[in-house]
């Protein structure tokens, strides 16, 4: 995911990014890449623009399938992105959707 994060961070609208492999919500036992994006203040970007940005710079299997725009990434005491917390957020969101 580090290479994918670097490509996304090169986009002019992106301040921070975290990428992780998460359970696919529709394909049991499979995973997909998801990117959590923190945008620069006052800037907007569409998911489609980010997909196109990635598709021009990454192999097809490296392009995230889902994006989430969030205010801040969970970080450790030393400032590293906590991917396991991002994954847990996604799993919890998927479980809420299944219960609905």
Does residue 99 carry a pLDDT above 70? no
- Note the pLDDT tens digit of each residue in 3-56: 999 999 999 999 999 999 999 888 889 999 999 999 999 999 999 999 999 999
pLDDT, mean of residues 61-69? 96
Task: Give the CA-trace dihedral at 75, 97, 21, 8, to 10 degrees.
Answer: -70
pLDDT score, position 100: 42
Q: Which CATH superfamily is domain 2-99 in?
A: ANL, C-terminal domain (3.30.300.30)
Q: What is the pLDDT of residue 95?
A: 87
Domain boundaries, the chain: 2-99
Write down the pLDDT at residue 45: 97
């Amino acid at each position: 995911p580090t290479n994918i994060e670097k490509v996304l961070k090169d986009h002019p609208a992106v301040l921070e990014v975290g990428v992780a492999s998460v359970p696919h919500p529709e394909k049991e036992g499979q995973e997909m890449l998801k990117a959590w994006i923190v945008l620069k203040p006052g800037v907007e970007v569409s998911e489609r623009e980010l997909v196109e940005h990635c598709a021009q710079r990454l192999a097809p299997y490296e392009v995230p399938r889902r994006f989430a725009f969030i205010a801040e990434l969970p970080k450790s005491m030393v400032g590293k992105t906590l991917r396991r917390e991002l994954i847990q957020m996604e799993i919890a969101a998927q479980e809420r959707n299944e219960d609905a």
